Structures are given as C-alpha cells and as structure tokens.
Chain A
Amino acid sequence: GAGVSQSPSNKVTEKGKDVELRCDPISGHTALYWYRQRLGQGLEFLIYFQGNSAPDKSGLPSDRFSAERTGESVSTLTIQRTQQEDSAVYLCASSLRAGDGYTFGSGTRLTVV
C-alpha cells in the first residue's frame, strides 16, 4: 500500500487478556520497527526486523511481549496477560533499508482496563 497500515486503530481490553496488533509495512520495505508511546512521552523502541536476519528484540520490556514478521511482509506484536501499564499507542514504522528514514503508521491506541 501507499503507507504503513496498522490495525486495529483502537483496542480496549481487560487486564489479563492477550492482544495482537498488526502492521502492514510499505511494500518493498525490508526494515520494520515497533515503538511504544505513552501519553505525553517520546517513542520507546521495542523491536526491529531487517529482512531475514534475527530481529533485534532488545527493547521489549518483558517476556509478555513478542513480535513476529514473515519475510518482508506483515508483522504482529503480541502482548500476553496485559497490564494497565501496557496502555499506550503502539507505532509501527518501515524503511526501504536499515539506516533510511522511517515512515510511521498511525498507531494502535491500546487501553487496558
């Protein structure tokens, strides 16, 4: 597609439930990134995929967080046993190559109640 697409745009979930967030990067972009943005704060790196290389998971805050990407296509970010502190906007971005400027999606606003 023309831009990075994320779904759902909003998600309200009960504490303890699992959630899955989806990102469709720009076609042909080999690099894909997930960031978290808490209310009124900057963006916090979560995970980075580059082609078929092992992902950089160093930003994942706990083992409740995981992400997958098949080839150079869709990625899913899964949060298990959600907690209230997981409430944030989760932003996905892609770039043609590692080191290029990112294009961000509009994000998924997650609210854990």
Chain B
Amino acid sequence: GQQLNQSPQSMFIQEGEDVSMNCTSSSIFNTWLWYKQDPGEGPVLLIALYKAGELTSNGRLTAQFGITRKDSFLNISASIPSDVGIYFCAGRGGNGDPQETSGSRLTFGEGTQLTVNP
C-alpha cells in the first residue's frame, strides 16, 4: 500500500522557536491533512489542503501541498508549551490508490513528537 515518510520523528525546541516538519510519499495524493494528537486523545484536524501548490495558514500554523502532490510540510511559528504533542500528516486519494473511488480512506505518517521547553 501507500507509504508516508514523516520527518523528523521527534523534535525538542525552546519556546518561541519556529518548527518545520514534512511528509513525502512515493505516490501522489489528492488531499493532504495535518493532525495533532494529545496524550489519551484522538487526533484533531489542524489544516486540510486540497490543491497542489496550495499554501494555507491557521493562526501560527502554515502548511503547503507540494506541487508534485507527493509531499507536504507543516510550519509552526513562535512555538508555545501547548504545542506539545504528536503531529501526523495524512493523505487521501491519488494515483494507484485502490480507494480512489471512495476517496475517504486516509494514509497516515508515523508522526512527529514535538516537545517545547519553556
């Protein structure tokens, strides 16, 4: 099946620093999504990207859908302690995806564990 490579696996930063994480795929996706998961909770959607080249912001978060449709990045500016958590990228649909017609199945990356030191 499709694989998403997410990096880095973990990050340790100081409060106020900017953060960048990314996902790459061997095949294309039609939609890229970024989720954040707090301990003991399900992932929460942060940003959804629907068009190649799209750059979308949500407060201090900015994400881009790569032109090749095989990658996406998420930036967090001026990090704060509550940014701590695990960030997941997810892709939906695309070339060679057997679920293209249903279009709902998501493929998730392995996650980036973010730690912010006050």
Contact = CB atoms under 8 A, between A and B. Distances in A.
Contact of B104 (A31, A40, A44): A31
Given A56-B99, A101-B33, A101-B48, A43 B105 contact: no
Contact of A58 (B44, B92, B98): B98
A99 B45 contact: no
Interface in B83-118: 88, 90, 92, 98-99, 102-111
Contacts of B88: 42-43
Nearest to B111: A42
A48 B95 CA distance: 20
A99 B104 contact: yes
A50 interface: yes
B43 A45 contact: no
Interface in A3-58: 4, 31, 33, 35, 40-45, 48, 50, 56, 58
Nearest to B93: A99
A45 B45 contact: no
B61 to A, nearest CB: 15
A97 B1 CA distance: 24
B59 interface: no
Nearest to B40: A106
A30 B6 CA distance: 30
Interface string B17-49: 000000000000001010000001111110010
20 contacts: A33-B105, A40-B111, A41-B110, A42-B108, A43-B43, A45-B105, A45-B107, A50-B102, A50-B104, A56-B102, A58-B99, A59-B105, A91-B43, A93-B42, A99-B31, A102-B45, A102-B106, A104-B42, A104-B43, A106-B42
